[in-house]
Amino acid sequence: MNTSSEPGFSARPQLADDVARYVRRRIFDGSVRAGEYLRLDQLAAELGISVTPVREALLNLRAEGLLELLPRRGFMVLAVTARDVADVANVQAFIGGELAARAAENVTDEQLAELQRIQDELERAYGSSDLDRMVRLNHEFHRLINVAADSAKLTQFMSGITRYAPESVFPTLAGWPAQSTRDHRRIVAALQQRDGARARSAMAEHFTVGVVPLTEHLAELGVIADAENAV
């Protein structure tokens, strides 16, 4: 399978990660529902790859709590809850806020210039239909801040929790491109002023402000069924 909206599936070490990203996207866009089973051979044929990386990807998604492996049945999609969405955002807000505060202390002029360049590209991407480009540029924006923070362990934690966030869904939320743009500009301004407290606050709010619209969107898609329990 080769489409412009999905990752290329060539033989390389991160192939299982690409498969996991593809399956996550299908879960969070409602293409596969809780209770459905994912067949290794069917996914492998669909993606044009061998079964081995598909199995590795599904085992990783099982470890993330998105799938359950049942004896003689295979991998079953588990329900996503509103509390899951809120919990992920709150952890991102705490760790991301601290990383932004540390970045404010360490960020160089060169890094600030690169961050502004990425943000400018992201804003232009929001005016297009290239979802993958939006996701990639948003990832680069946050990654550069984490690099500037120079805190390896916190960055590792942040990378781990971000896998649970449906990054590809956010650009499709009504009003999110404008909200993200406002948030990112506040973060950049705080970093330019080397204001750690403002950077922490701006980053934390950026992660938590999306909880309600994301939960409502996933509920409309039938991905979650308990939007009223969001916290």
pTM: 0.82
Could you tell me the strand order of the sheet in which 67-70 lies? Answer: 37-38, 74-77, 67-70
Secondary structure element (H or E) that encloses residue 30, with its range: none
User: How does 88-115 read in b/e, with b if 16+ C-beta sit within 10 Å?
Assistant: bbbbbbbbbbbbbbbbbeebeeebbebb
- pLDDT tens, residue by residue, 109-136: 999 999 999 999 999 999 998 998 999 9
With a pLDDT cut of 90, the percent of the chain lying above it is 74
- pLDDT tens, residue by residue, 150-190: 999 999 999 989 888 888 899 999 999 999 999 999 999 99
- Residue range 3-19: average pLDDT? 62
Q: Which domains does the chain have, with CATH numbers?
A: 15-77 (1.10.10.10), 82-229 (1.20.120.530)
Cβ partners under 8 Å of residue 71, min gap 6: none
* β strands within the chain, DSSP E: 37-38, 67-70, 74-77
47, pLDDT greater than 70: yes
The average confidence (pLDDT) of the chain is 90
Q: What pLDDT does 1 receive?
A: 39
